[in-house]
Amino acid sequence: MTEDSIQRFHHVMPLQIRFNDIDKFGHVNNSIYFQYYDTAKIDYFDNVCENVDWNKIAIVAAKIETEFIAQVKADSHVEALTRVTRVGNKSFQLEQEIVSTDTHEVKSRCTSVMVLYDLEKSCSISFPNNWREAIYNYDGITPNN
């Protein structure tokens, strides 16, 4: 089942755990997971889509649902898995997981709705067609999904 996770995702990013990620309770603080998810999400777009300029366009979170399934510790080896599951007109949906690099055990799972935002005009924008296609190809999404 966890093997399955790895297979469903094409974008894999190893994560470097920092000393400062560990909170008073001895594990990676829940707020840090969102730094991991953010970093992996940005890397996904940098790699899959063309001409992404984060000085002009932002990805803004609209809704995030996260499960914390197993703790991540200072000596854990983990990686972030990211895929786009739906591209709407202005919003899109991401599925992400943090899994053990060694065992593929799922540590956390996150689905989120994001919006593309024009930083110069300060408004949300339509999803570019060439990005949509690149994502469909990369993640193997059929257009009527």
- Which positions touch a copy of itself (CB under 8 A)? 14-16, 18-20, 22-27, 29-32, 34-36, 38-39, 41-42, 54-55, 58, 60-68, 71, 74, 117, 119
Identify which of residues 55 and 129 has a Cβ nearer to a copy of itself in the complex. Answer: 55
Identify which of residues 5 and 66 has a Cβ nearer to a copy of itself in the complex. Answer: 66
Q: In the complex, what is the shortest distance from the CB of residue 143 to a copy of itself, in angstroms, rounded to a whole number?
A: 28
Identify which of residues 67 and 102 has a Cβ nearer to a copy of itself in the complex. Answer: 67
Q: In the complex, what is the shortest distance from the CB of residue 58 to a copy of itself, in angstroms, rounded to a whole number?
A: 4
Q: In the complex, what is the shortest distance from the CB of residue 66 to a copy of itself, in angstroms, rounded to a whole number?
A: 5
Query: Alpha-carbon distance 8 to 24, whole Å?
Result: 34
Q: Which residues, 6 or more positions from 123, have their beta carbon under 8 angstroms from its beta carbon?
A: 117
